[in-house]
Structure 1
């Protein structure tokens, strides 16, 4: 994986404060509901849909949480770089390094659904350059590679 710079990837208990700091830096508040949605999202080992997250938060909160509310929060998280959307699965993953902005490359296993996010700025820069050469202005490319993970191959 090629990176344009080195960065620390917070994990476990360190990820929530990193996400909170990134959200607050974008001018948004870290509310109790947003915290619950982020913690739920970060707890999934595979991309999670808004419905998966709504169910998990509903169980944690002891009250029904609507998927529409979760969708709005997830959209905010994507905009603030706290989460990334796996387009082909209509699902989301927590961003392991919310303080860094990279274009996304997802490796999606068709057998087990495991999704791995990698950063390769050479590849995404090439995609951006190709798009710009046609007069297209890419906002944030997302590349998804379908196939089989090492465990399922």
Structure 2
């Protein structure tokens, strides 16, 4: 389980640099294609599918990029903590603090599609302990709560 600490939420150029630093610390290269995929992912305000990202990268590159190539890079990004996968909608978001490890807790709005990531190590810690008590070896809990965000709830 992750421990309590303060962390920096990155945006823009700071986010891209933090992602690059984190990827390189894991022994991977920050290639031009990986940079393009990360740029596209970071521009989405809502979780983006590999097809959404492939379309954005294709436009930026001026050539067709297959979704299969995007999936491979996204798998690397998730494994390296640069992105998080919203499992229930098969979409991805850039991790605003890739230098910190936290379990994933998403609040997913069924009306607008927004997914808000929250860090609550006590909640995920309880899930870990319950699983371990049941004899289950936990890799990383992912919790998704579907409902309506505050903006959509007002409408």
TM-score by length of 1: 0.97
Which residue does the alignment assign to 1:9?
A: 9
Please state if 1:118 is matched with 2:127: no
Cα-to-partner distance string for 1:96-117 (whole Å, 9 max, x where unaligned)? 1000000010000000001100
| Unaligned segments of structure 2, at least 5 residues | none
2:144 aligns with 144
Q: How does 1:5-84 map to 2 (within 5 A)?
A: 5-84=5-84
**TM-score normalised by the chain length of structure 2:** 0.96
Could you tell me how far apart the structure 2 residues matched to 1:61 and 1:12 are? 20
- Deviation at residue 12 of structure 1 after TM alignment: 1.4
Cα separation, 2, equivalents of 1:63 and 1:56: 11
- What's the RMSD between the two structures over aligned residues? 0.7
C-alpha distance in 1 between matches for 2:66 and 2:14: 28
Distance 1:35 1:141 in 2: 28
| 1:35-72 CA-partner distances (Å, limit 9, x unpaired) | 00001000000000000000000000000000000000
Shift of 1:13: 1.5
Could you tell me which residue of structure 2 aligns to residue 135 of structure 1? 135
Unaligned runs of 5+ in 1: none
**CA apart distance, 1:4:** 1.2
Give 1:132 deviation, angstroms: 0.4
